[in-house]
Structures are given as structure tokens and as C-alpha cells.
């Protein structure tokens, strides 16, 4: 049985079993999540922080001038198109789900407040909440993408290996094993990670889109409506995927960047502009000041461990689950870039965009919460997906709020399409059939079915559990990719 047939059969079977026995699925996911976090929290923390250190060293190495492709080969895409696709595929609408909810939840209480001698619900706690949110969305996660994407691009473009995740392990597998069962196992785990990672993001995006559509169209926030959104977006994503990277995905990504900039500018001008602008330098400094201590911190008490499981470990596992998908995608679009250009751009630019995004949306929400306690937190505590619509409702006239909410819904919609069509193309690459229309339809449908099953079974908890469980084997693969790159760097074979 081919990798494509086996994985499709296995994953569709999981969807069916999950829907048939919802309570058992909830119990299995919960037990598996607890087991992984209890035994391997240190591994998730170590692999993300260690990868960041390695990437910094790679960028400073003399071999960083090597080009990803033949010497003198021009980049396949303009710098703007390249960045737009990096942003849309690597971040997607998870930013709109968490940009308000996460800072507000951290503001109400988190273990780092006590460690820094800060009181919850204070102005200092608001600054802490922003820094902690950016920590979860910043350099560590993008370091994982850089590591995987760089290894795939190097061994695909310069060593003639196929554009799959197994190629990132070419230094360790060699010609003898890369085409046999170890290579196939690596691709299978990457495929599973892509399906569960993208399904997690799609589920959160559907919840956010449902929340944005409720005040606009009276579309109630229900699991059924979120599943309907997923299948509608899946259909449109397939249309984009069938048109390829150069047309559908590139154009959607460029539109997303411009609309995102307009949306952020509107929120900045409608909110407390001066206070938000002053948050940029203070948040950046606070993020840098606490980066090392936060990166290597592991909770010791039951409360701290539970918080770290729900937040930091979930994020690292989610980034790891997305690593094969985004790494393959950015390797695919980065031909012609140098190693240093690749590392610096993929690390620095998205992190700065995230800083702007979180400071403007999260900072405005925290400012409103400090002025009027409960105005944002009550909605977020009830349902995290209500964060952005609730914030926007405080920013002006009903007509202006409706326009902003409509723009947010548009962004959620197009970002979700971009993520699903990019993931569909990557899955087809992983099974070695990148151009078959039937494969694109099957994998696009599977992504929609898996997302719907997880929404129906347990919503956010099920989505988080699935990411954490699949993140463990991908953390191991990431450590092997790092070992292979270091080996070739020492031997001068990059």
C-alpha cells in the first residue's frame, strides 16, 4: 500500500471512529495529552530554545552566504510576494483568535507574575501579558520553521533530493535509507503533523469567523455553524490550490497583507493611539529582557504545570505540528535566497509583524480592560473567540464597528483559505503526487473532515490535545534535523 493510500485510509478511519464514539475519543485525547506533558515538557522546552540558539549560529556562520539553489539563480518570487506567502501560511488566522484573548487571559493571572513580583489586573500585569503573548508567537516558533525549511531547501536544491521532509534528514539517512522505510516513516509523521496542526488552526479560525459573523449576519456561534464554515472554506481552498502557488496562493497572500495593514491602522487610529505607540518599545525591551528566563522555565507546582501545559507546551507542540507543512512551503518558495537572507527574513520580519499585531490589538484590549474592568474579559472568559469582536465593539460608531468587523471576517476567511490550500499542496508533495487533481481534492476534504471531527468532539480542548500528542514525534524529528545540519556544517558539506 502506498503512503498516500495508507495515510488517507488511516486518517479517514480516525475521523469516523471519533464521530462514532465521542466520549471515548475525548477520554483518549485527554489521557494522551496528560501523559505527553507530564513526561516530556522538558523536551518541548529544550528543543524550541535549542533550535533558536542553533539558528542564530547558522546565520553568523561564513557558509551563510550559500544560495539555496544553483549559484547565481534568481529568486522565484519578489521579496514582497515571498514575505506575503511566509506571513499568510505561517501565521494565518490564529493571530485573530488569540490577539485579544491571550493577553486578557494572561493579564488576569499567570505564574510569571508572581516570579516578577507583579499583581494581576495591574498596569504592570498588562505589560507582562503582552510580552508573554509575543513570546508564544515569536522567535522560538519561527526558529523551528527556519530549521526545517533550511534543511529541506539545502538538500533539495543543492543535493538533488526530493522536496519532502525526509530530505531534511539526508545527512543522517544517506542514500541507503532515505528511500526506504525510515524515510517513509519520517514523511508519514510529517503528514500526520500537518493534518493535525492545520486542523487545530482551522478549528480556531472557524470559531473566530463564526464569532465575527454573529453581529454582522446573526450567525449563531455553534459547533454546527463552525463545521459549515470549514467545509465552505475547504471548497474555496481547493479552488485556490488547484490554481497553484504562483497564482491562487500568491495573490491571496498579497491581498491579506494589504488588508491586514489597513485593519491594524484603523484599530490603532480608533483606539488610544499615543498609549499604544508607546507600548512598542517597552514591549520589545520587556520581551528581550525576559526571553532567556522564560524560554528555559519549567513549572514546578501543579498550578504552574497546568498553566504551562495549556499555554507554552501547547504552543510549542502546535508550532512543531506546523513545522513540516510550513517548512516545506517556505522551502518551496525560497529558491534563490541565501542562507543568511532566509534565516534573517523568516525569523525577524514575522516576529516584528507579530509585535505590531499583538501590541495594537492586545494593547488596545488591555487599555479598555484597565479603564472598564470586565468590558473585554467577561466575553473572553465565556468564549475566547469573542475577543476581537468584543474589542471592536468599543472602537466607535455602529457603522464603523460593523465595517471593522467585516474586515476581520474577510481576513479570517482568506487566511483560512490560504492555510488550507497551502497545506493541501504540501500534503500532495509529501505523498509524491504534487500535481494530481484527485489527490488535492482528497487531502482538502480530509482536512475539512478532521477539523470538523475535532470541533464536534471537544472544541478547543480536543484541538489542543491533538496538537500536543502529534508534536512529540515531530520534536524528535526536529532534533534529528538539527543534528544532521550540525554534522554537515562541521564537515563542510553545506
For the chain, give the percent of residues with pLDDT over 90: 38
Confidence of residue 290 (pLDDT cuts 50, 70, 90): very high
Q: What's the CATH number for 3-490? A: 1.20.1740.10
Question: Which one is predicted more confidently, 287 or 29?
Answer: 287
**Which whole number is the average pLDDT over 347-357?**
87
51-65, 246-260, 365-379: least confident range: 246-260
Angle at 467 between CA 200 and CA 331, to 5 degrees: 80
Residues 66-81 pLDDT 10s: 888 877 778 888 888 8
Residues 219-265 pLDDT 10s: 788 888 888 988 888 877 777 666 655 555 677 777 888 898 999 99
**Which whole number is the average pLDDT over 362-371?**
96
- Give the predicted TM-score (pTM) of the model: 0.90
Phi, psi for 219 (deg, rounded to 5): -90, 100
Q: Where are the domains of the chain?
A: 3-490
What pLDDT, on a 0 to 100 scale, did the predictor assign at position 416?
Answer: 80
Angle at 492 between CA 485 and CA 65, to 5 degrees: 80
pLDDT at residue 364 above 80?
yes
What pLDDT, on a 0 to 100 scale, did the predictor assign at position 242?
Answer: 67
Residues 392-425 pLDDT 10s: 999 989 999 999 999 998 888 887 877 777 778 7
pLDDT at residue 25 above 90?
no
What pLDDT, on a 0 to 100 scale, did the predictor assign at position 90?
Answer: 61
- How does the average pLDDT of the chain come out, rounded? 86
What pLDDT, on a 0 to 100 scale, did the predictor assign at position 374?
Answer: 95
Residues 178-192 pLDDT 10s: 888 888 889 888 888
What pLDDT, on a 0 to 100 scale, did the predictor assign at position 456?
Answer: 84
**Which whole number is the average pLDDT over 379-389?**
90
Residues 99-156 pLDDT 10s: 999 999 999 999 999 888 899 999 999 999 999 999 999 999 999 999 999 999 999 9
Amino acid at each position: 500500500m502506498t503512503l498516500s493510500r495508507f495515510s488517507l485510509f488511516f486518517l479517514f478511519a480516525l475521523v469516523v471512529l471519533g464521530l462514532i464514539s465521542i466520549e471515548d475519543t475525548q477520554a483518549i485525547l485527554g489521557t494522551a495529552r496528560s501523559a505527553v506533558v507530564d513526561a516530556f515538557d522538558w523536551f518541548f522546552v529544550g528543543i524550541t530554545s535549542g533550535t533558536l540558539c542553533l539558528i542564530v549560529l547558522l546565520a553568523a556562520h561564513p557558509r551563510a552566504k550559500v544560495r539555496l539553489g544553483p549559484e547565481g539563480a534568481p529568486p522565484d518570487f519578489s521579496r514582497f510576494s515571498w514575505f506575503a506567502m511566509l506571513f499568510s501560511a505561517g501565521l494565518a488566522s490564529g493571530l485573530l483568535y488569540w490577539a485579544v484573548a491571550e493577553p486578557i487571559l494572561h493579564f488576569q493571572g499567570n505564574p510569571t507574575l508572581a516570579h516578577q513580583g507583579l499583581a494581576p489586573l495591574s498596569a504592570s500585569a498588562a505589560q507582562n501579558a503582552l510580552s508573554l503573548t509575543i513570546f508564544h508567537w515569536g522567535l522560538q516558533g519561527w526558529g523551528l520553521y527556519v530549521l526545517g525549511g533550511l534543511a529541506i531547501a539545502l538538500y533539495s536544491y543543492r543535493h538533488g533530493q526530493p522536496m519532502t521532509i525526509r530530505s531534511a534528514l539526508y545527512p543522517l539517512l544517506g542514500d541507503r535509507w532515505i528511500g526506504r522505510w525510515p524515510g517513509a516513516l519520517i514523511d508519514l509523521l510529517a503528514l500526520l503533523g500537518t493534518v493535525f496542526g492545520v486542523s487545530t488552526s482551522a478549528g480556531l479560525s472557524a470559531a473566530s469567523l463564526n464569532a465575527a459573523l454573529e453581529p454582522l449576519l446573526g450567525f449563531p456561534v455553534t459547533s454546527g455553524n463552525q463545521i459549515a464554515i470549514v467545509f465552505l472554506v475547504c471548497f474555496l481552498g481547493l479552488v485556490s490550490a488547484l490554481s497553484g502557488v504562483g497564482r491562487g496562493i500568491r495573490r491571496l497572500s498579497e491581498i491579506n497583507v494589504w488588508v491586514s495593514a489597513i485593519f491594524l491602522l484603523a484599530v490603532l487610529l480608533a483606539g488610544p493611539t499615543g498609549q499604544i505607540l508607546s507600548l512598542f518599545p517597552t514591549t520589545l525591551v520587556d520581551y528581550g529582557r525576559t526571553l532567556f528566563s522564560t524560554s528555559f522555565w519549567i513549572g514546578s507546582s501543579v498550578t504552574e504545570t497546568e498553566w504551562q501545559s495549556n499555554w507554552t507546551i501547547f504552543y510549542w507542540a502546535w508550532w512543531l505540528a506546523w513545522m513540516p507543512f510550513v517548512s516545506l512551503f517556505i522551502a518551496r518558495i525560497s529558491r534563490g535566497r541565501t542562507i543568511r537572507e532566509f534565516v534573517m527574513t523568516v525569523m525577524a520580519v514575522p516576529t516584528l509583524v507579530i509585535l505590531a499585531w499583538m501590541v495594537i490589538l492586545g494593547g488596545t484590549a488591555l487599555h479598555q480592560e484597565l479603564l472598564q474592568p470586565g468590558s473585554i474579559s467577561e466575553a473572553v472568559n465565556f468564549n475566547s473567540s469573542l475577543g476581537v469582536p468584543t474589542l471592536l465593539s468599543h472602537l466607535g460608531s455602529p457603522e464603523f464597528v460593523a465595517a471593522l468587523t467585516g474586515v476581520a471576517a474577510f481576513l479570517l476567511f482568506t487566511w483560512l483559505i490560504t492555510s488550507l490550500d497551502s497545506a493541501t499542496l504540501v500534503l500532495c508533495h509529501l505523498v509524491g503526487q504534487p500535481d494530481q487533481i484527485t489527490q488535492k481534492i482528497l487531502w482538502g476534504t480530509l482536512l475539512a473532515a478532521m477539523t470538523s471531527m475535532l470541533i464536534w468532539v471537544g472544541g478547543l480542548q480536543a484541538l489542543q490535545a491533538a496538537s500536543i500528542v502529534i508534536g512529540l514525534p515531530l520534536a524528535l524529528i526536529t532534533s534529528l534535523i538539527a543534528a544532521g545540519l550540525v554534522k554537515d556544517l562541521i564537515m563542510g558539506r553545506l
